[in-house]
């Protein structure tokens, strides 16, 4: 079964084959095959005309991608660590995100920015961030967070199709492992802005992003064996966000828990809570909304410290049990 | 003109001139300033974000240096798509100290992009003079750092600028890569309306006013008997009339409606 | 020792009317008491057997303390014997009209066959000077199904935390969240707290008691041969006039009565269910006074507040169906009641009056006469 890295490569290859204007640029994506091996052998298959190695110049690279996108190309730009999107923020947030709106629709930016995010590799504070809220809070960007290889393939194809700038956040820990479901053959797209109900239950609704979907899934399996049934929802696209299945589920379960890796304060997942709190489904809640998220600290180096900084399976399990037990 | 309609430009926050020179519709430009629906950006961009795809204008930019990497990208696309066009990035002396300038110039140099880096050196980045902002005197020397030609021109001499530009365009179209052109000029008024000009002297401003390029050009053309005074007057009157007509029309136009705002963020995904 | 006036704190036991081993019926006089205001006869709240005489004549006994112990079959008492109920009961009217009872400690319960459970009794007493009479069999009306009408639910929380669905549910059902006992973390009211407990646990007990009573009531009235008559009447009468007229008609037929007084129960819908305040001997006061009393009692009942003493002593019941646009109905007669009336809608200017009778006591002919007499007098 394909790993996430392989699934992403497969999606890019399909897009390359479908459209000559699609190309990849980034640091070490060419000969090296990508820092995390995602582009792999694409350089050999497609050549240096379409797989461009760049110097270390995130702002310049992303800016060039914007300019190319404005001029008829469909660039995929890979930023080696999501932390380094900071160097490129002007071109991402001030240029790409705003061009279509500011220029009255005269131009648009069909660009995908792919970047690995997240902690768990011992790479410490500047190489481990989850920056979902940075992008989700900028109108004009679409933000996608795949939790498994199968979704990653279909979502990336849809992102490349999209005429707007899409930030595609891949979790480092997922690159080398296959998912629960095999990656489908073919080139079917998974539409952006549609959440997935991963499993259905009646006792609790969990909304989780990225790697937390998988951790939550394991908790759901364990609880199911004890008769506690949990609905697990993966938004897949965090901006624009599909809340409809969340409302429907909470109206059945009455209990909502949200799980993300990034720091709790001002994190993306708060958007789910905010929308729920203001919705007509609010009156279905029989328990306070529970949020599990990272500690409000930079990611520490030592393995036990790094683990402690973000929610683990045990944390998710304990929280789920507590809500179901104490709130009837 | 050194550029064709298909050649692309990116510009600065002071981009009206580039816009008009590249062939913009005056009414739509003024309408944009007045927040009208028929404005170039539907009233959503304003003075600093005017773009006109048809005339190759990829937009003025409110961020200093913001347009330079974008122009590099446009040049990259031109090369990849074999369009044969060039991309010109207009920027000021202030932008040359932005990281964006450096990264874009380097990319253009290593990939030999068909690009012109055109600096309108008016000696001031808002209130910081080039004397204070640069440790070098000759800004064109920076070209060496990237391995590309750095050319000085008198920005107030129309013909000199044209000639230098043409050379750069030819070089780019031949695939030889970018050129850095530093055009010396001056900014008469403050950076913006709130600028009290405390960082320079009245005398300096007066000196440079005497070097106004338009009267200079007119004088030379007449002297060279290429145009008569009447013709020159006629051209100037035409320009004035065109602006006045555009203003009058734009003023009458309908104001932009907030109703469409949410839909304006993303381009619709076609089915 | 019953509390027979607001200021009474003790009563002096004068004499017993019964001795140990006596079988008594509900309403029989058990003993006499002297208070600062009046001499009173205290009646048996239920059928039973005298087990122990606790006090001695001449003793000054505090209110709420035992005077005698009787055994009765009733297992469930609908109302508190403790002081709480007394403290929260309102009087029926500002100036005590003749039929308005003083707050009392307990209205005990069911009419019943031979006693089984021991019960400490502080019985219901009429503080009415002119009418010293045996209290009729005290009957707790079956239809009080929902939360008790009498005691306002105890306020358990003053600052209320409740989950959203609990709030929605409470709002829909007219439950005051301050009366709900929270079992959630941080003293938060959970959905199931509102859903199941409703008010405080004592109330749940009362509800169970009511259910048991209804079941018993049905059992007891099964096999009572009933008949119903309808007559059309003009619509120009209000509740007070009806109650007064009906009471007069019944008073004129002591041969069809099992009680010595006339107690007219009027069914009133409250937010807790049906309340059945009893207007004792309403024909003995003026219609205007009665009207005031009916009005204030109705208002109080709608809010779940009826004095305990007004819940007993019904000898006949009136159901007004016009609020439901019904024209007639045949209700179950309450145990120990011989008659009941339903007032139904007939037209804008006429009403339908139905009389239901217990055929064991009142035959068809008598029934017809009663209805005639009533309609004639309206």
User: In this structure, what CATH number is given to the domain that contains residue C263?
Assistant: 3.30.559.10
Q: What is the pLDDT of residues C298-321, one digit of tens each?
A: 888 887 777 777 888 899 999 998
Question: How many separate domains does chain C show?
Answer: 3
- ipTM for this prediction: 0.87
* Interchain proximity A284–C185, CB inside 8 Å: no
Percent of chain C with pLDDT over 70: 72
Domains present along chain A, CATH in parentheses: 4-171 (3.40.50.970), 196-326 (3.40.50.920)
Helix, strand and coil percent figures for chain C, each rounded to 5: 30, 25, 50
Q: Which chains have 3+ CB pairs within 8 A of B?
A: A
Q: Nearest 5°: phi and psi at A106? A: -65, -35
Q: Per-block average pLDDT, block size 10, for chain A (328 residues)? A: 97 98 96 95 97 96 98 97 96 97 94 98 94 98 98 98 98 96 97 98 98 98 97 98 97 97 97 96 94 96 94 98 95
For residue C108, pLDDT over 60 is answered with no
Give the number of other CB atoms < 10 A from CB of residue C337: 27
B8-261 CATH, one of 3.40.50.970, 3.30.530.20, 3.40.1260.10, 3.20.20.70 = 3.40.50.970
For residue C271, pLDDT over 80 is answered with no
Residues C273 and C227 in one domain: yes
∠ CA B187-B191-B193, rounded to 5°: 120
For residue B241, with 0-12 CB atoms within 10 Å meaning exposed, 13-18 middle and 19 or more buried, which class applies?
A: exposed
> What CATH number corresponds to the domain at position C67?
2.40.50.100
For residue C91, pLDDT over 50 is answered with no
The answer to whether residue C113 is domain-embedded is: no
- Going by pLDDT thresholds of 50, 70 and 90, the confidence category of residue B237 is very high
Residues C224 and C188 in one domain: no
- Give helix B26-33 / helix B229-252 axis angle, nearest 10°: 50
Please give the distance of CA B17 from its chain centroid, rounded to a whole number.
7
Residue C60 CA to residue C83 CA, distance in Å, equals 19
* B28: nearest CA partner in chain A: A104
Strand ranges across the sheet with C48-53: C23-24, C48-53, C68-72, C117-120
Q: Residue B270: list chain A partners with CB under 8 A.
A: 163
At residue C158, the pLDDT reads: 64
| Cα dihedral value A9, A10, A11, A16, nearest 10 | 90
Residues C229 and C170 in one domain: no
Residue C367 CA to residue C375 CA, distance in Å, equals 12
Structure tokens at C312: 């007993």
- Going by pLDDT thresholds of 50, 70 and 90, the confidence category of residue C203 is low
Q: Residue A54: list chain B partners with CB under 8 A.
A: 107
For A283, half-sphere exposure in the C-beta direction (CA atoms, 13 angstrom radius) is 7
At residue B190, the pLDDT reads: 73
Residues C337 and C286 in one domain: yes
At residue C332, the pLDDT reads: 80
Output the DSSP codes for A43-56: HHHH-TTTEEE--S
Instruction: Give chain B as a 3 state SS string.
Output: CCCCCCCEEECCCCCHHHHHHCCCCHHHHHHHHCCECCCCCCCCCCHHHCCEHHHCECCCCCCCCCHHHHHHHHHHHHHHCCCCCCEEEEEEHHHHHCHHHHHHHHHHHHCCCCEEEEEEECCEECCEEHHHHCCCCCHHHHHHHHCCCEEEEECCCHHHHHHHHHHHHHHHHCCCCCEEEEEECCCCCCCCCCCCCCCCCHHHHHHHHCCCHHHHHHHHHHHCCCCCHHHHHHHHHHHHHHHHHHHHHHHHCCECCHHHCHHHCCCCCCC
The answer to whether residue C1 is domain-embedded is: no
* A276: nearest CA partner in chain C: C164
Residues C259 and C304 in one domain: yes
Q: Is B in contact with C (3 or more beta carbon pairs below 8 Å)?
A: no
Strand ranges across the sheet with A51-53: A51-53, A22-26, A74-78, A112-117, A166-171, A142-144, A237-239
Residues C307 and C334 in one domain: yes
∠ CA B100-B101-B103, rounded to 5°: 65
For residue C66, with 0-12 CB atoms within 10 Å meaning exposed, 13-18 middle and 19 or more buried, which class applies?
A: middle
- Going by pLDDT thresholds of 50, 70 and 90, the confidence category of residue C199 is low
Beta pairing partners, C340: C317, C356
Please compute the mean of the pLDDT values over residues B90-96 and round it to a whole number: 94
Boundaries of domain holding C16: 10-71
* Interchain proximity A68–B73, CB inside 8 Å: yes
Point out the least confidently predicted range of B16-20, C195-199, C272-276: C195-199
For residue C207, pLDDT over 70 is answered with no
Q: Residue A139: list chain B partners with CB under 8 A.
A: 265
How far the first Cα of chain B sits from its last, in Å, is 42
Residues C226 and C173 in one domain: no
Percent of chain C with pLDDT over 90: 24
For residue C102, pLDDT over 50 is answered with no
Residue C285 CA to residue A121 CA, distance in Å, equals 92
For residue C151, pLDDT over 60 is answered with no
The answer to whether residue C2 is domain-embedded is: no
The answer to whether residue C110 is domain-embedded is: no
* B68: nearest CA partner in chain A: A63
Active site residues of A: 58, 127
Task: Report pTM.
Answer: 0.67
For residue A268, the distance in angstroms to the closest alpha carbon of chain B comes to 20
For residue C177, the distance in angstroms to the closest alpha carbon of chain A comes to 15
The answer to whether residue C241 is domain-embedded is: yes
Is the distance from CB of C361 to CB of C338 less than 8 angstroms?
yes
Residues C17 and C142 in one domain: no
Residue C72 CA to residue B102 CA, distance in Å, equals 102
Please give the distance of CA A190 from its chain centroid, rounded to a whole number.
14
Residue B103 CA to residue C58 CA, distance in Å, equals 111
For residue C125, pLDDT over 60 is answered with no
* Interchain proximity C163–A285, CB inside 8 Å: yes
* Interchain proximity A284–C164, CB inside 8 Å: yes
Structure tokens at C364: 């068809």
Please give the distance of CA A105 from its chain centroid, rounded to a whole number.
27
Q: Residue C191: list chain A partners with CB under 8 A.
A: 254, 286, 327-328
Longest Cα–Cα distance in chain A: 62
Instruction: Write out the E strands in chain C.
Output: 10-16, 23-24, 29-34, 39-43, 48-53, 60-62, 68-72, 117-120, 161-162, 188-189, 226-234, 263-266, 268-270, 273-275, 278-280, 316-320, 339-345, 350-358
Residues C66 and C180 in one domain: no
Mutate to test the interface with A, among C162, C165, C197 (most CBs of A within 10 A): C165
At residue A201, the pLDDT reads: 97
The answer to whether residue C302 is domain-embedded is: yes
Is the distance from CB of C372 to CB of C348 less than 8 angstroms?
no
- B50, B74, B265: residue with CB nearest A100: B265
- B52, B53, B72: residue with CB nearest A63: B72
Q: What is the pLDDT of residues C343-378, one digit of tens each?
A: 998 888 999 999 999 998 999 899 999 999 999 998
* Interchain proximity C184–A327, CB inside 8 Å: yes
Q: Is A in contact with B (3 or more beta carbon pairs below 8 Å)?
A: yes
Q: Is A in contact with C (3 or more beta carbon pairs below 8 Å)?
A: yes
Count of residues for chain C?
Answer: 378
For residue B149, the distance in angstroms to the closest alpha carbon of chain A comes to 20
For residue C28, the distance in angstroms to the closest alpha carbon of chain A comes to 50
Q: Which of C42, C71, C100 is the last residue of a domain?
A: C71
* Interchain proximity A59–B99, CB inside 8 Å: yes
For residue C52, pLDDT over 80 is answered with yes
Q: Residues with Cβ < 8 Å from A43, sequence gap 6 or more? A: A29, A30, A31, A33, A51
Which residue bears the tokens 């391995």? B147
Residues C137 and C237 in one domain: yes
At residue C223, the pLDDT reads: 77
Residue C371 CA to residue C365 CA, distance in Å, equals 10
Q: Which of C71, C96, C115 is the last residue of a domain?
A: C71
Residues C188 and C287 in one domain: no
The answer to whether residue C61 is domain-embedded is: yes
Structure tokens at A117: 């995010």
Distances (CA, A) of B245 to B249, B250, C94, C108, C215: 6, 8, 88, 98, 94
Q: Residues with Cβ < 8 Å from A285, sequence gap 6 or more? A: A250, A254, A255, A256, A276, C163, C164, C165
Residue C368 CA to residue C201 CA, distance in Å, equals 47
Q: Residues with Cβ < 8 Å from B101, sequence gap 6 or more? A: B65, B68, B91, B95, B117
> What CATH number corresponds to the domain at position C171?
4.10.320.10
Q: Are strands A256-263 and C278-280 parallel, antiparallel or unpaired?
A: unpaired
Please compute the mean of the pLDDT values over residues B209-217 and round it to a whole number: 87
- C165, C184, C192: residue with CB nearest A285: C165
* A158: nearest CA partner in chain B: B269
For residue C205, pLDDT over 90 is answered with no
């Amino acid at each position: 079964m394909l790993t996430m890295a392989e699934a992403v490569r497969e999606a890019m290859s399909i897009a390359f084959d479908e459209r000559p204007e699609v190309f990849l640029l980034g640091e070490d994506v060419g000969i090296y095959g990508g820092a995390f091996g995602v582009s792999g052998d694409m350089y050999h298959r497609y050549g240096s005309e379409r797989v461009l190695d760049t110097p270390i110049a995130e702002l310049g690279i992303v800016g060039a991608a914007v300019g190319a996108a404005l001029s008829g190309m469909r660039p995929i730009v890979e930023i080696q660590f999501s932390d380094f999107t900071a160097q490129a923020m002007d071109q991402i947030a001030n240029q790409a995100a705003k061009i279509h709106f500011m220029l009255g629709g005269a131009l648009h930016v069909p660009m995908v920015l792919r970047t690995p995010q997240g902690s768990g590799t011992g790479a410490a504070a500047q190489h481990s961030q989850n920056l979902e809220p940075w992008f989700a809070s900028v109108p004009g960007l679409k933000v996608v967070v795949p939790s498994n290889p199968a979704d990653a393939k279909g979502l990336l194809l849809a992102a490349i199709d999209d005429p707007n700038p899409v930030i595609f956040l891949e979790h480092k820990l997922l690159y080398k492992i296959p998912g629960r479901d095999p990656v489908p053959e073919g080139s079917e797209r998974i539409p952006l802005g549609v959440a997935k109900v991963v499993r259905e239950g009646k006792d609790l609704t969990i909304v989780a992003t990225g790697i937390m979907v998988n951790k939550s899934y394991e908790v759901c399996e364990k609880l199911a064996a004890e008769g506690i049934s949990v609905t697990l929802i993966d938004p897949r696209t965090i901006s624009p966000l599909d809340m409809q299945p969340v409302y429907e589920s909470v109206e059945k379960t009455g209990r909502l828990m949200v799980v993300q890796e990034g720091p709790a304060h001002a994190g993306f997942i708060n958007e789910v809570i905010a929308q729920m709190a203001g919705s007509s489904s609010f009156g279905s809640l029989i328990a306070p909304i529970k949020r599990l998220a990272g500690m409000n600290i930079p990611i520490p180096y030592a393995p036990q410290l790094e683990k402690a900084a973000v929610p683990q399976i045990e944390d998710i399990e304990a929280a789920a049990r507590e809500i179901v037990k104490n709130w009837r | 003109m050194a550029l064709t309609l298909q050649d692309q430009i990116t510009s600065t926050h002071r981009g009206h001139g580039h816009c008009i020179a590249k062939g913009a519709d005056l009414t739509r430009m003024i309408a944009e300033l007045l927040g009208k629906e028929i404005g170039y950006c539907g009233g959503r961009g304003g003075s600093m974000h005017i773009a006109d795809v048809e005339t190759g204008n990829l937009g003025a930019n409110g961020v200093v240096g913001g347009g330079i990497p974008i122009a590099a990208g446009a040049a990259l696309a031109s090369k990849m798509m074999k369009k044969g066009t060039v991309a010109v990035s207009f920027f000021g002396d202030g932008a040359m100290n932005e990281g964006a300038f450096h990264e874009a110039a380097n990319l253009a140099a290593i990939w030999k992009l068909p690009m012109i880096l055109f600096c309108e050196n008016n000696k001031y980045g808002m209130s910081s003079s080039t004397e204070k902002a640069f440790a070098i005197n000759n800004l064109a020397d920076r070209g060496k750092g990237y391995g590309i030609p750095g050319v000085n021109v008198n920005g107030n001499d129309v013909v000199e600028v044209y000639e230098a530009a043409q050379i750069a365009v030819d070089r780019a179209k031949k695939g030889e890569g970018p050129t850095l052109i530093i055009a010396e000029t001056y900014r008469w008024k403050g950076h913006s309306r709130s600028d009290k000009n405390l960082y320079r002297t009245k005398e300096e401003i007066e000196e440079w006013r005497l070097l106004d390029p338009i009267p200079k050009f007119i004088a030379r053309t007449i002297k060279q008997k290429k145009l008569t005074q009447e013709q020159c007057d006629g051209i100037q009157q035409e320009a004035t009339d065109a602006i006045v007509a555009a203003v009058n029309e734009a003023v009458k136009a309908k104001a932009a409606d907030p109703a469409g705002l949410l839909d304006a963020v993303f381009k619709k995904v076609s089915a | 020792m019953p509390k027979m006036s607001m200021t009474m704190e003790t009563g002096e036991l004068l004499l017993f009317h019964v001795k140990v081993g006596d079988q008594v019926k509900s309403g029989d006089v058990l003993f006499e008491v002297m208070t600062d205001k009046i001499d009173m006869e205290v009646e048996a709240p239920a059928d039973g057997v005298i087990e122990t005489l606790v006090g001695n004549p001449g003793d000054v006994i505090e209110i709420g303390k035992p005077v005698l112990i009787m055994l009765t079959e009733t297992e469930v008492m609908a109302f508190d014997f403790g002081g709480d109920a007394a403290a929260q009961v309102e009087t029926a009217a500002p100036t005590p009209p003749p039929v308005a009872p003083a707050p009392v400690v307990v209205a005990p319960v069911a009419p019943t066959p031979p006693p089984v459970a021991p019960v400490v009794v502080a019985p219901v007493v009429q503080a009415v000077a002119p009418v010293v009479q045996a209290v009729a069999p005290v009957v707790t009306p079956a239809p009080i199904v929902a939360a008790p009408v009498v005691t306002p639910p105890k306020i358990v929380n003053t600052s209320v935390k409740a989950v959203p669905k609990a709030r929605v549910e409470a709002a829909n059902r007219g439950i005051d969240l301050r009366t709900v006992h929270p079992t959630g973390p941080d003293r938060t009211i959970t959905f199931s707290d509102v859903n199941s407990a409703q008010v405080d646990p004592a109330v749940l007990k009362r509800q169970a008691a009511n259910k048991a009573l209804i079941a018993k009531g049905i059992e007891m009235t099964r096999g009572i041969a009933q008949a119903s008559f309808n007559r059309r009447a003009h619509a120009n009468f209000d509740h007070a006039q009806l109650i007064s007229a009906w009471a007069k008609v019944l008073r004129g037929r002591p041969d069809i009565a099992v009680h010595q007084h006339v107690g007219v129960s009027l069914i009133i819908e409250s937010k807790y269910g049906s309340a059945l305040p009893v207007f004792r001997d309403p024909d003995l006061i003026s219609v205007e006074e009665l009207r005031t009393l009916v009005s204030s009692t109705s208002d109080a009942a709608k809010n779940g507040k009826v004095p305990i003493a007004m819940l007993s002593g019904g000898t006949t019941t009136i159901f007004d169906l016009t609020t439901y646009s019904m024209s007639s109905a045949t209700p179950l007669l309450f145990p120990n009641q011989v008659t009941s009336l339903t007032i139904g809608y007939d037209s804008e200017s006429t009403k339908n009056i139905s009389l239901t009778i217990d055929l064991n006591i009142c035959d068809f002919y008598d029934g017809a006469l009663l209805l005639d007499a009533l309609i004639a007098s309206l």
